[in-house]
Structure 1
Amino acid sequence: MAETSSPNSSADDLKNHVMKIFQDATKDCEDEYSKREFGTIGRSYDSLNDFSIKLFNTMADTGIVDRAREMFKPVSDLGILSPVAIFTIVIMTYAGNRKAKSALKVYQHMIATGVNPACYTYVQLICVLATDFSNVKFLRYAKKYFLEMLDKGMKPNPTPFWNIMEAIAYREPVEKAKEFLEQVKAKGFMPPDSGFHYKEAYLAKGMQTLKMYANLVHNDTIDKDVRNYFYMLRISTDHAEKLLNKMYNALVEDGNEDEATEFFNEVEETGIEPMVVIHTAVIEAYLLFGKTKGALEAYLAMLAAGVAPNSYTYTVLIKGLSADSNFFGDAKKYLLEMMDKGKRPNAATFTAVIEGFAKQGDKAVEEEGKELVQLMLDKGFVPNAKAMMEVLKGRPTSVIRSAMSIVLSTLKQ
């Protein structure tokens, strides 16, 4: 199938030809969601053209207008959609629905009919292949097409490169990452200094970070809600910056300047998200979905991986455990562990544990709370009553009175 048509071809003939291409590319669709999308997009040539206009505008708005023009260059002066645009729309739809096998099949059909892919075609295909871990062959194809795209002089954005590197991190040894990195550099592609530092000195560490992210999204043994959470998180191009800023700002606000400085220096030196950031984000994700047991297991997995928690990690963990009566004993345990490591809980963290005692409305439990406060005093921590009152605002009066009594009566002894 040629991408050009005779000047004598009528507009109707060309439109019918385009619709035939679309129908052939989608006729074997087995995914119900994709099938519904194709039914909407391809009701008629006009609906297909309307979708193409919207896609062109979206691509232009995101700064890739040159790729949009390349893909939507008409086959004649009649302004009819090109075959490559049709095939790319089908591949893009499958990619959006995470159907790598179907996207690859359409791409191979496109090549067999003599239609050359545009840069955007490659990007869509490579991204879905690299992010589908159901078949090891998909990674090999993703690498192949990325290098092929570079050989054709195309200049892709960083996304397909990072997707491939993450897939390598998940499936292959770091030597394979070095090999692929050298291959793309030899073809003139210089990976941007983002995502992780690709310099050899930090490559192994960077691949470890990517492997953990890939595991969070693709490992079926991990809670489904948490996997979906990290999938959506990773779609955001600035997710790493947000997580880094969140932890750094929390450390600074709580007066943990030394930890904040150490954290900042590590990021500046390596360009990599410290593993403590990702592990802490996992704990937060489990707590977000009310899965306290999962949060505690994530913390224990963090320790087993040799990653040391910082003050912010403890804050997240202890507050989460305190909110679940089934894990209140663990909250007390880790509050003391935090202090034994020379870290000081902020008012919200300390108060969350004391509030746990107060909520139970039991005198024996209150005495246990006083014993905890005394242990903390012995470790050099003096609760700030005023800060506690700020945290307890809006709580039932009985809880506030009990919590303050536990602390103040101990301080007076």
Structure 2
Amino acid sequence: MADTQVKLTSPPNFCVEDSKKHLMNIFEDLTKDCEDKNSRNFFDSIRDYDAFNASAIQMFCTMADSDLLDEARELFKPLSGEVTLPQVAVFTIVISTYASNGNIKDAHKVYQQMIASGVTPTAYTYAALIAGFAVDFSNSDSVRYAKKYFLEMLDRGMKPHSQPYMNLMTFIAYQEPEEEGNKFLEQVQAKGLSLDHYDFPYNEVHRTEQMKVIRICNDLIFSNTIDKDVQKYVLRSCDSAWKIFVLSMNMHNALLEDGNVNEDTIQHALTDPSVLIHTLVIESYLKFGKGKGALEAYWGMLAAGFAPNSYTYTVLIKGLTADPVFLGDAKKCLLEMMEKGMRPNAGTYTAVIESFAKQGDKGSEEECKELVEVMISKGFVPNAKAMREVLKGRPKATIRRIMNIVLSKLKG
């Protein structure tokens, strides 16, 4: 496909090889002190320019598939008269690798080297950097840096994609009081960024919508059937429009990440707060170890005519697997989720399979095998690689038992 073509044909009399060597020297200098295992493994796989170019093409395709085609074109566009990748692509790939592996300190160092070298960052460079800071809760300076680089994007005339905006606003909500979030929004708007073009804006109109959530929440949690501990927890979780914004964004991002989403699903998640609050009540029961209450809240949700989305099912299923008493209910909900056309993520179906396998008896093992068979019959094949990733840290004997059950059916 032409849009994903990064490597170009060189014109006559152009010293392409020298340019390639220069880019690889930059790459090797930026990565020579890497100590993180995951990042190191990736960097070591890039032994020459052709390997680097192949990684760039793969990154371009991933960005394009993630609705970041314009950002991809900007990042990988060769400078006038050049035929190799631009220097900004080298810096950005290293920054993105460090940031995605949780090494924001190293990513930030590379960014500073990039600026010192006179290389101008692209919108995706900033997005990768902001995303890295927005998950770094270990450093109190992270929120300051995340805001700084978002504003720097605007100062450079860039129009940020919705993802760095949502990442940052979620991080601010967790790290700072509401007043600080409002101040930052004023700074953003003063620089000319209209928040209305985002799928999930946080503005006055949206605040009005969120007040509906508070009213629905009050109506629901003060019913006589809701546990007192759950009432208090839910009230604390959504006693302001700002907190509700964070809850809504978490659901929104989870739906996107799991791929159980289309335009109608997103709009429903954003405009119908009832599903959000019912899910919060279910989650609250599970937090207090009250599986029966969570199931009753789920049944009440269905009785009230509200359709759970994949996030609701994920919360419910994984929570129920914590207590063997409710394992049958977790299995039933997993199959129900699939019958409705929703694909459970690896963490969800692995939790159910693991719970059966941990029972250690022949009957539970057979029931687990039957579950895998039913899943396959519904067109859903468990991903063995993803399951192993979820099971990391479990005793080897447990992992072996679980994977033997699954693989016996996949091979069959």
Shared fold, TM over 0.5: yes
Q: 1:179 aligns with which of 168, 176, 183?
A: 183
Report the counterpart of residue 235 of structure 1 in structure 2.
257
Q: 1:205 aligns with which of 240, 243, 246?
A: 240
Cα separation, 2, equivalents of 1:282 and 1:13: 61
Alpha-carbon spacing, 1:236–1:100, altered in 2? closer, same or farther (3 Å): farther
Q: How does 1:95-134 map to 2 (within 5 A)?
A: 95-134=99-138
Instruction: Give the match's secondary structure for 2:141.
Output: helix
Alpha-carbon spacing, 1:72–1:324, altered in 2? closer, same or farther (3 Å): closer
Cα separation, 2, equivalents of 1:297 and 1:176: 37
Cα separation, 2, equivalents of 1:103 and 1:321: 38
| Percent of matched pairs sharing the same residue | 39
Alpha-carbon spacing, 1:327–1:162, altered in 2? closer, same or farther (3 Å): closer
Q: Which runs of 5+ in 1 are unaligned?
A: 1-6, 217-228, 247-266, 287-292, 301-307, 329-413
Q: Displacement, 1:96?
A: 2.0
Cα separation, 2, equivalents of 1:239 and 1:139: 29
Q: How does 1:250-261 map to 2 (within 5 A)?
A: none
Report the counterpart of residue 290 of structure 2 in structure 1.
296
Cα separation, 2, equivalents of 1:179 and 1:277: 30
Q: 2:42 aligns with which of 8, 31, 37?
A: 37
Letter in structure 2 aligned against 1:138: S
Report the counterpart of residue 79 of structure 1 in structure 2.
83
The TM-score with structure 1 as length reference comes to: 0.55
Residue pair 2:320, 2:326 contacting (<8 A) in 1 also: no
Q: 1:138 aligns with which of 120, 139, 142?
A: 142
Cα separation, 2, equivalents of 1:179 and 1:150: 16
Residue pair 2:78, 2:85 contacting (<8 A) in 1 also: yes
Report the counterpart of residue 12 of structure 1 in structure 2.
17
Q: Displacement, 1:33?
A: 0.7
Cα separation, 1, equivalents of 2:175 and 2:91: 30
Q: How does 1:264-283 map to 2 (within 5 A)?
A: 268=271, 274-281=276-283
Q: Displacement, 1:65?
A: 2.9
Q: Which runs of 5+ in 2 are unaligned?
A: 1-11, 212-238, 305-312, 329-412
Letter in structure 2 aligned against 1:311: G
Alpha-carbon spacing, 1:233–1:298, altered in 2? closer, same or farther (3 Å): farther
Cα separation, 2, equivalents of 1:105 and 1:237: 33
Q: Displacement, 1:210?
A: 5.0
Residue pair 2:278, 2:301 contacting (<8 A) in 1 also: no
Report the counterpart of residue 355 of structure 1 in structure 2.
none
CA deviation profile, 1:177-209 (whole Å, cap 9, x unmatched): 111111111222222464465325449834213
Q: Displacement, 1:310?
A: 7.8
Q: How does 1:11-410 map to 2 (within 5 A)?
A: 11-40=16-45, 42-75=46-79, 77-191=81-195, 192=197, 194-195=199-200, 197-199=202-204, 200-201=207-208, 202=210, 205-209=240-244, 211=246, 235-236=257-258, 268=271, 274-281=276-283, 295-296=289-290, 311-312=300-301, 320=320, 324-325=324-325
Cα separation, 1, equivalents of 2:321 and 2:259: 31
Instruction: Give the match's secondary structure for 1:136.
Output: coil
Letter in structure 2 aligned against 1:312: M
Cα separation, 2, equivalents of 1:297 and 1:17: 60
The RMSD of aligned alpha carbons is: 4.2
Residue pair 1:166, 1:211 contacting (<8 A) in 2 also: yes
Cα separation, 1, equivalents of 2:26 and 2:121: 15
Letter in structure 1 aligned against 2:102: R
Instruction: Give the match's secondary structure for 1:162.
Output: helix
Instruction: Give the match's secondary structure for 2:240.
Output: helix
Alpha-carbon spacing, 1:141–1:188, altered in 2? closer, same or farther (3 Å): same
CA deviation profile, 1:327-378 (whole Å, cap 9, x unmatched): 99xxxxxxxxxxxxxxxxxxxxxxxxxxxxxxxxxxxxxxxxxxxxxxxxxx
Alpha-carbon spacing, 1:149–1:323, altered in 2? closer, same or farther (3 Å): closer
Q: Displacement, 1:21?
A: 0.7
Which of the two has higher C-alpha Rg?
A: 1
Q: Displacement, 1:88?
A: 0.5
Q: Displacement, 1:119?
A: 0.9
Cα separation, 1, equivalents of 2:83 and 2:143: 37
Cα separation, 2, equivalents of 1:118 and 1:322: 45
Alpha-carbon spacing, 1:43–1:182, altered in 2? closer, same or farther (3 Å): same
Cα separation, 2, equivalents of 1:122 and 1:322: 40
Alpha-carbon spacing, 1:243–1:16, altered in 2? closer, same or farther (3 Å): closer
The TM-score with structure 2 as length reference comes to: 0.55
Letter in structure 1 aligned against 2:38: Y
Letter in structure 1 aligned against 2:279: V
Instruction: Give the match's secondary structure for 2:71.
Output: helix
Residue pair 1:18, 1:86 contacting (<8 A) in 2 also: yes
Q: Displacement, 1:151?
A: 1.1
